[in-house]
Amino acid sequence: MYGFRWKPYVSVAERRRKAERQIARMNKGGSKLQGVAIAGRTIAHTFWGRAWCDNLERYSDFSNRLPRGRTYVRNGSVIDLQVQEGEVNALVSGSSIYKTRIQVASVSRAQWEAICTDCAGGIDSLVELLQGRFSKGVMERICRPGTGLFPAPKEIQFSCSCPDWAYMCKHVAAVLYGIGSRLDSQPELLFRLRQVDHMELISKAGQGLPLSKEAPPEEKILAEEGLSELFGLELAATSPPAKPQTKRKPKPAGSVSAPAKASAAQKATLKRTTPGQAKKSAAAKVSPKSRTLKKAPVRRGAKKAGKP
């Protein structure tokens, strides 16, 4: 072909430096890039990530380009990967920065309901679902080719801004592996990509189970001290209920209260005291300071003042 030239080869180290400079420029412009960073050669470690990568390698349509994609994603060439409903947009660093877009068809309603029905009772909680800790039968049903949750080649469409005319370029393959790595930490993105609600998988887990009518034994009930120690909360102290105030019974007519009796007794004692006793008691109450002072006696033979 006339007028066409391959771009010069760019080493891995140079691509990384170029990608870092591009990321710094875009972050300064307000963009928040979410690159794919892989430590070592293992792309995915969890159930969801490995299952996604195994599904890709099962299809012969992708076999010729996947090895180059694994090399690119391990080298950190996928500098941005955004998973949305039905599509993935990514930036891949090669000889230049290329824009890659992958569109994934949504799961049909009939297929999704069949998956939920077959998995009912095999998944007990959302944590168990996202961590991939369930039975082999549930795993087989979710990963079943054609009718499972992972897309078939006919359900995937992709495009890239690179000049490679191949059906799947290495940049697209790197992004596909990048999705598997991203599912390690965010497995719920798979359900967003296929446009289904993962909560429906566990909605039937508790249906048909009888409710217990018996109360738990007392030794299994946590007291307030146990609750505060378990959750680190200070529970408000509950005060005992106030006692109801009883109305006082009305006193019968003619009865005298205790203070009135005391005053009457005091008046009676005052009447019995004689005038002499009253004077003595009054004199006893006078303080020493209030008594009049007597004149000191004059000594005999003392000279009068002013006379020789």
| pLDDT tens per residue across span 199-218 | 888 775 554 434 344 544 55
Buried-exposed string 39-74: b where 16+ CB fall within 10 A, e elsewhere: eeeebbebbbbbbbbebbeeeeebeebbebbbebbb
Question: Rounded CA gap, 60 and 76, in Å?
Answer: 25
What sign does the CA torsion over 233, 236, 237, 238 have?
A: negative
Per-residue pLDDT, 308: 41
C-alpha distances in Å from residue 79, one per residue of 50, 88, 138, 201, 260: 21, 13, 34, 33, 98
Taking the C-alpha atoms of 102, 128, 39 and 159 in order, what is their torsion angle to the nearest 10 degrees? Answer: 0
Predicted TM-score (pTM) of the model is 0.61
CB 196 within 8 A of CB 153: no
Which residues of the chain, if any, have pLDDT below 70? 1-10, 12, 29-30, 204-308
The residue among 203, 209, 206, 235 whose CA lies nearest residue 222 is 235
Q: Which residues pair with 88 in a beta bridge?
A: 83, 102
Question: Rounded CA gap, 98 and 7, in Å?
Answer: 14
The residue among 102, 92, 103, 95 whose CA lies nearest residue 33 is 92
C-alpha distances in Å from residue 104, one per residue of 8, 85, 200: 33, 9, 21
Question: Rounded CA gap, 245 and 217, in Å?
Answer: 37
Per-residue pLDDT, 145: 82
Domain ranges, ordered by start, for the chain? 12-201
CB 205 within 8 A of CB 123: yes
Per-residue pLDDT, 212: 40
| pLDDT tens per residue across span 17-32 | 777 777 777 777 667 7
